[in-house]
Amino acid sequence: MLSSVRLDFFFAGILLMSVSAAAQDLTPPVPQRLVVHSSILNEDRVIWVRTPREYEHDKAAYPVLYLMDGPAHINEIGSTIDFLAQNNRVPPMIVVGIANTDRTRDLTPTHWDMKRPDGTVNANPTSGGGDHFLDFIQKELMPQIEKRYRTSCYRVFAGHSLGGLMVIHTLITRPDLFQAYIAVSPSLQWNDQGTLHQAQQFFAGQAELKKALFFSLANEGNTPNPMGDGFDQLKKTLAAKAPKGFHWDSARYPDETHGSTVLLAHYAGLRTVFADWQMPVNAEDGSPEGGLAGVEKHYHGLSERYGCAVRPPENLINQFGYQLMGQKKLDEAIRAFQLNVELYPDSANVYDSLGEGYENAGKLDVAIQNIERAIAQGTLISDPNLDLYKEHLKRVQAAKAAADKAK
């Protein structure tokens, strides 16, 4: 049974989320279309870039997920990231989706004309251009993305089928190009499992590897294409002896097809990559473990692990502040709201919440100053909750007028 404190916080949280959901724009972010000319590939490449909703309202830098078969999956994985980020399970991310021109050429590391069981050959005349494709990503695409967008130093590479094959190939040939790798149904049967054998040799020679990998398979068996065998062998290799610091997981989805498995695999892959992202909470009341000091410690640790500055999420601090306020710990609540102002000075909501903290503490003059700041910032960024801030200001001004009159 929930304690009365936790019940108060629970219902307050629902109210806050309901108000926010009613006011916010529910339209998902629309990917932007770029055309990047590649001298390496001697062609123009269409790139789709999906920024987080928060991107337009702050000055933060964001991790980037580079995605093969971009048009097919960018909105699916983008929405999955949005959902997980709203629940503080992953950071908001920029997604860079690469459209195909010659998919077999770009997403295969070696040339292979596959022999069928009946002796005929499935010719792949352009196959084997994967390393040129990676050169394009590393030397031409990444510099363009990092020039045009606010990117942090953390990068994830994700691909499906032949794209999954390229994810594994990239990890074992250019491990420092990305910090994390998601391979959905990787085609490890390619060229008689050549990439799989390279991977087995690579992992055997690595004493330490501070990277993350998730790979998966659907109901794809051993014939006619032995994808299942490649998956099982890679899993066996890593289970026997993974390098120190190498964080990996795998999953098999027997109820999914080669196409339908992507949604589940992306979700699980993101959870694996950011397995320690969520702030630990107190089992009794759901508050951050260790209070504000615990929050700062946790996110400092994440910054060290991921190699980039990681801020505590605005909504996490905000909800904790309201919980403290509900417990009548007003000084601590105000400190939480002040921390959010320091971390997110371009947000309007942080000033309104700080104003509410001062309002509850009876410091109405300071409350009014902060709510006015919320309205000014909200007007500047077209905050959907602007009308709520204005109503809040009227309420506090009326309370102050009544208090002044009573003196």
Q: 302 and 179 in contact (C-beta within 8 Å)?
A: no
- Coil, helix or strand at residue 125: coil
Per-residue pLDDT at 224: 53
Please state, in angstroms and as integers, the Cα–Cα distance from residue 334 to each residue in 42, 290, 295, following that order: 58, 17, 15
Would you write out the chain's pLDDT as a tens digit for each of its 407 residues?
Answer: 333 333 343 334 434 443 444 445 678 899 999 999 999 999 999 999 999 988 987 888 999 999 999 999 999 999 999 999 998 899 999 999 999 999 999 999 999 988 777 778 788 999 999 999 999 999 999 999 999 999 999 999 999 999 999 999 999 999 999 999 999 999 999 999 999 999 999 999 999 999 999 999 999 865 555 789 999 999 999 999 999 999 999 999 999 999 999 999 999 999 999 999 999 998 888 889 999 999 999 999 999 888 888 989 898 999 999 999 999 999 999 999 999 999 999 999 999 999 999 999 999 999 999 999 999 999 998 898 999 999 999 999 999 999 888 87
Q: How far is CA 159 from the centre of its chain?
A: 16
Query: How far apart are alpha carbons 189 and 192 in whole angstroms?
Result: 6
Task: Return the CATH class of domain 31-273.
Answer: alpha beta
* Fold for the domain defined by 310-406: 1.25.40
- The structure tokens 């077999």 sit at 104
> What φ, ψ does residue 59 adopt, rounded to 5°?
-120, 20
Q: What is the pTM of this model?
A: 0.86
Query: How far apart are alpha carbons 401 and 237 in whole angstroms?
Result: 72
Give the list of residues 6+ apart from residue 246 with CB closer than 8 angstroms, or none: 206, 208, 209, 210, 211, 212, 213, 238
- Structural domain spans, the chain: 31-273, 310-406
Peptide bond into 288 cis (omega under 30): no
DSSP single-letter state for residue 340: H
Bridge-based pairing state of the strands 62-68 and 94-98: parallel
